[in-house]
Amino acid sequence: MSVSVRDVAAAASVSVGTVSNVLNHPGKVAPETVARVQAAIEKLGFVRNDAARQLRAGKSRSIGMVVLDVGNPFFTDVARGAEDRAAEDGFTLLLGNSDEKLAREGSYLDLFEEQRVHGILITPVGEDLTRLGRVQANGTPAVLVDREADRAQFSSVSVDDVAGGYLAVRHLIEQGKRRIAFVGGPHGLRQVQDRLAGARKAVAEAPGVQLELIDTDSLSVLQGRAAGEALQSREAVHRPDGVFAANDLLAMGVLQALHMLGDIRIPDDIALIGYDDIGFASAAVVPLSSIRQPAALIGYTAVDLMLREAAAGAGFEREHVVFQPELVVRQSTSGA
């Protein structure tokens, strides 16, 4: 059914080895032979069988990536950066979506292992990285994205989320806000923990400022809207006057709820700041203040580290790149 090198070899009256050389080391083959083989390939419509190729090579030309949420523009931006770097070296990016679920994350890791992927980029759902450690021990380099852990074991590319949380809440406090609410969850996510830790730090430095936690099940617009509705249904005096959402999707949900259902003024009654600075943040009902992370660069760098680790082999010194987040002020916190 499918055309193989054998068929091409026969059609061009050469050996299979020569066909393979034309494909992979054309310099080693006489020009006219190359032409003849290529004509045969063209004529027969030969397409390399990647499975056989990989079987022989022992490793694939793909890189596996698992993100928390493909619906979040932040992660698609990271993936884009990763894809760019991968393409530079002829690698393909396989993108998996864990949806913040351990089970889905696990099944992508299974898949990637079975595919003998060249390396793995992952934003892990939980704290437990033993599974990933095992993969790594078997020779597949893994790089943590947007998350730092056990520095000796995994390379990582991250942004200082504690600093980001601090920036966000300090900014709210500087705007005169005193009753701050942190909207986010699940708390198993390191991003959530760190951003909250930064928030706590900023609050601790400012006497008289209170911090309230409003938990969500995930970092989605829907969850944000639910949180916003909860706030909106409270009596005005019991509402916070500043809200820090763990990411922009949540923030946009909160914004929708507050703005559309209620008569709450933003930022006068409640100031709102998000995290990630996704492209849509600036186009929101009230343009959203946020903490910017260099998404594409994170992805690019992660693949870079991974490829370096793969090339270096066993005794590789793990690297850790930490970017600094940046405060972006828009109308949702600054009425002017």
Residue 193 to residue 22: CA distance in whole angstroms: 54
Among 13, 15, 92, 324, binds its own copies (CB under 8 A): 92
Residue 47 C-beta: closest distance to DNA, Å: 7
- Determine if 4 is a binding residue for its own copies (CB under 8 A): no
Size of the site for DNA (CB under 7 A): 31
Among 12, 14, 22, 77, binds its own copies (CB under 8 A): 77
For residue 106, what are its two tokens? 């696990």
Site string for its own copies, 199-238 (x = CB under 8 A): ----------------------x-----------------
Residue closer to its own copies by CB (options 87, 197) is 87
Terminal Cα distance for the chain, rounded: 69
Among 10, 38, 44, 53, binds DNA (CB under 7 A): 53
Q: In what order do the strands lie in the sheet with 179-184?
A: 210-215, 179-184, 242-245, 271-273
- Determine if 256 is a binding residue for its own copies (CB under 8 A): yes
Residue 22 to residue 5: CA distance in whole angstroms: 11
- Tell which positions 98-127 bind its own copies, by CB under 8 A: 111, 113-116
- Determine if 94 is a binding residue for its own copies (CB under 8 A): yes
Residue 127 to residue 88: CA distance in whole angstroms: 32
Residue 143 C-beta: closest distance to DNA, Å: 25
- Tell which positions 58-117 bind DNA, by CB under 7 A: 58
Residue 96, phi then psi, degrees to nearest 5: -115, 150
Residue 111 to residue 332: CA distance in whole angstroms: 43
Beta-carbon neighbour count of residue 55 at 10 Å? 11
Residue 157 to residue 140: CA distance in whole angstroms: 17
Cα 13 to its chain centre, rounded Å, is 50
Coil, helix or strand at residue 300: helix
The amino acid present at 109, given as its one-letter code, is L
Among 11, 40, 46, 262, binds DNA (CB under 7 A): 46
Residue 289 C-beta: closest distance to its own copies, Å: 15
Residue 195 to residue 191: CA distance in whole angstroms: 6
- Determine if 139 is a binding residue for DNA (CB under 7 A): no
- Determine if 56 is a binding residue for DNA (CB under 7 A): yes
Pairing of strands 290-292, 326-328: antiparallel
38 binds, among DNA, its own copies, none (CB under 5 to 8 A by kind): none
- Determine if 16 is a binding residue for DNA (CB under 7 A): yes
Residue 186 to residue 312: CA distance in whole angstroms: 37
Contacts with DNA by CB under 7 A lie at: 1-2, 4-6, 13-21, 23-25, 28-30, 32-33, 46, 48-49, 52-53, 55-58
Contacts with its own copies by CB under 8 A lie at: 1-2, 45, 47-55, 58, 60, 70-71, 73, 76-77, 79-80, 83, 92, 94-95, 97, 111, 113-116, 134, 138-139, 221, 252, 255-256, 260, 279-280, 282-287
